[in-house]
Structure 1
Amino acid sequence: MSKHRAPARLLAVTSLMTLTGNAIAAEKSSAELAKQLANPVAALISVPFQYNYDENIGPDDKGTRHTLNIQPVIPVDISEDWNMISRTILPVIDQTDIAPGSGNQTGTGDVLQSLFFSPKAPTQNGWILGAGPAFLLPTGSDDLLTADKWGIGPTAVALKQSGPWTYGALVNHIASVAGKDDRDDISSTFVQPFLTYGTPNGVTFGINSESTYDWKGDEGAVPVNFQINKVSKFGKQMVQYGAGLRYWAQSTEAGPEGWAFRLNFVLLYPK
């Protein structure tokens, strides 16, 4: 073997090992971020953009709705043992014919602001917990996009992460406390059980339900969501993207029916 070929081959092997190591590290980072995203009270700054399409809305089933939920998540370190996680949902809505003669409305809906106080360490049994207040803010830009009520209530989450699996539930209850007298009062419960499976390369497969029950109207809705997401790096920016289907197993009298779909895009800012 030539003395000149040996260093060249050593350099090639070293470069290959470095590239392989970097790829493994990137996959590990993606898997860790995907696992954090499956946890609603993880100490991870993220800005999700969630697009939903629903149809068959209204008493004559002719309505359609496009909803872009902008959902920044900001964890705040408040002590050695506790975090506070701020989760905001701002809907931007475009809807048509949700009621006979209603036409089209485009604008913002009402904001839901949740604050979870969460211990940094899981319980002895491995459960991750969080609880706090939730607020409904009447920020809707059109009478058909807002409840015109201020609301408040409790919210809580409990989940467990075991290997590639994450499972648990998030709940809240909102009751109106102020707002326009000519609008219906609010007493609404939200329940979101979820199950997620993560792979070593940052892909997650998830199923959840975002069920609601209106205690004033005595009716509920049970959509079931199936989704696939992937954590990747675009340039220097870590992101998650994905898509899924939703089936309305139960809906309100004027709510969506049948199948719908969802697109997901999340900007990630890991520490």
Structure 2
Amino acid sequence: MNQSTFIPIITGLALIAVAPVQAQDSGAPSDEELAKKLANPISSMISVPFDFGFNTGLGPDDGDNITLAIQPVIPFSLSDDFSLVVRTIVPVVWQNDVAGPSGSQFGLSDTLQSFFLVPESDETALGTLTYGVGPAVLWPTSTDSLLGAGTLGAGLTAVALIQKGGWTYGALTNHITGIHDTRSSAGDLDSTFLQPFLVYTTANAWSYVLQSETSYDWDSNEWSVPINVFVNKLTTFGGQKIQLQAGIRYWSESPENGPEDFGTSFKITFLF
């Protein structure tokens, strides 16, 4: 699959995200219930987040980076007991002074696509347990060698979480190994990602999030450990249910020439 295949996919997702939806009827879930569903990375609800992130201190010249990550989550019902949830992350990146004299770059980075086989949730003494496992694929869609590895990769992904009352806690993980380098300058791809998360959702659909998006590069033996704090609010705009998110991150650990200190994030999620 090449880059041109992804352009209509991204365009289609953007069109879906701005399409109007019907107003909720009396049997529709409340805003609180929808906010709790959004706290679950593999919930049975279509959502299309647009996540803007800003980081500084990259490269030898302390450059800047802005990333728009388009992250549609689409569930498919396979049976009464199982569903398939497809999560896709398509990053659009602008960066400046990150690669020294190369100046600024703008374009696509590599696309991560995860497929979770999700059994029906179980009720436990701790709360409602939901989990899913499956394959993950990293597509080499980067349009510039400085924006992505350009390496086709594959591996496994898993997520498990418990929800009780207003609380949601759990972790998402994956491990990706390169299976084909499309650029001779690309390094070996061998990376583990871990995202522990803790969310508290209130009765009026505010959510408070503490999480990390930790990764370890087994080829360079380097950690990336951002600590993220977000505040979310579910609301309705023009008949469309959306969730707004704002927050900050602190880079407690990053690789050489990686981001430093603090970054910011803003996200808008369209619900369907």
Of stretches 120-129 and 71-80 in structure 1, the one that deviates more from structure 2 is 120-129
Return the index of the structure with the highest Cα Rg.
1
* Number of the residue aligned with 1:4: none
Give the letter aligned to residue 115 of structure 1. Answer: F
Say if 1:93 and 1:109, in contact at 8 Å, map to a contact too. yes
Q: What residue is the counterpart of 1:165 in the other structure?
A: 167
Amino acid corresponding to residue 224 of structure 2 in structure 1: A
Is 2:136 the partner of 1:134? yes
2:22 maps to which residue? none
Write the mapping of 1:252-267 to structure 2, written as runs, cut at 5 A.
Answer: 252-267=255-270
In the alignment, what sits opposite 1:50? Answer: 51
- Residues 230-241 of structure 1 mapped to structure 2, 5 A cutoff: 230-241=233-244
CA 1:260–1:120: 2 relative to 1, 3 Å: same
CA contact (8 A) 1:27 1:201 kept: no
Distance 1:262 1:268, change over 3 A: same
**Is the CA contact 2:36–2:201 (under 8 Å) kept in the aligned structure 1?**
yes
Confirm whether residue 146 of structure 1 aligns to residue 148 of structure 2: yes
Q: Secondary structure at the match of 1:34?
A: helix
How far is the alpha carbon of 1:27 from its aligned partner? 11
> What letter matches 1:164 in structure 2?
G
Deviation per residue, 1:17-73 (Å, 9 max, x gap)? xxxxxxxx799711000000000110010000000000011123x210000000011
Unmatched segments (≥5 aa) in structure 1: 1-24
Structure 2: distance between partners of 1:124 and 1:265: 32
The answer to whether the 8 A contact 2:121-2:131 is kept is no
RMSD (CA atoms): 1.5
Of 242, 248, 253 in structure 2, the residue corresponding to residue 250 of structure 1 is 253
Q: 1:86 to 1:28 in 2, by over 3 A?
A: closer
Using the alignment, how far apart are the partners of 2:28 and 2:60 within structure 1? 48
How far has the Cα of 1:162 moved from its partner? 1.0
Counterpart Cα distance in 1 of 2:120 and 2:35: 18
Superposed, 1:14-53 pairs within 5 Å as 29-53=30-54
Contact conserved, 2:59 with 2:258, CA < 8 A, in 1? yes
Gaps of 5+ in 2: 1-25
1:71 equivalent to 2:71? Answer: yes
The CA distance in 2 between the partners of 1:86 and 1:123, in whole Å, is: 24
- 123-132 or 199-208, larger mean C-alpha shift: 123-132
| Structure 1 residue aligned with 2:82 | 82
Q: For the residues of structure 1 that align with 2:97 and 2:258, how far apart are their CA atoms?
A: 12
Per the alignment, do residues 198 and 172 of structure 1 end up closer, same or farther by CA in structure 2, a change over 3 Å counting? Answer: same
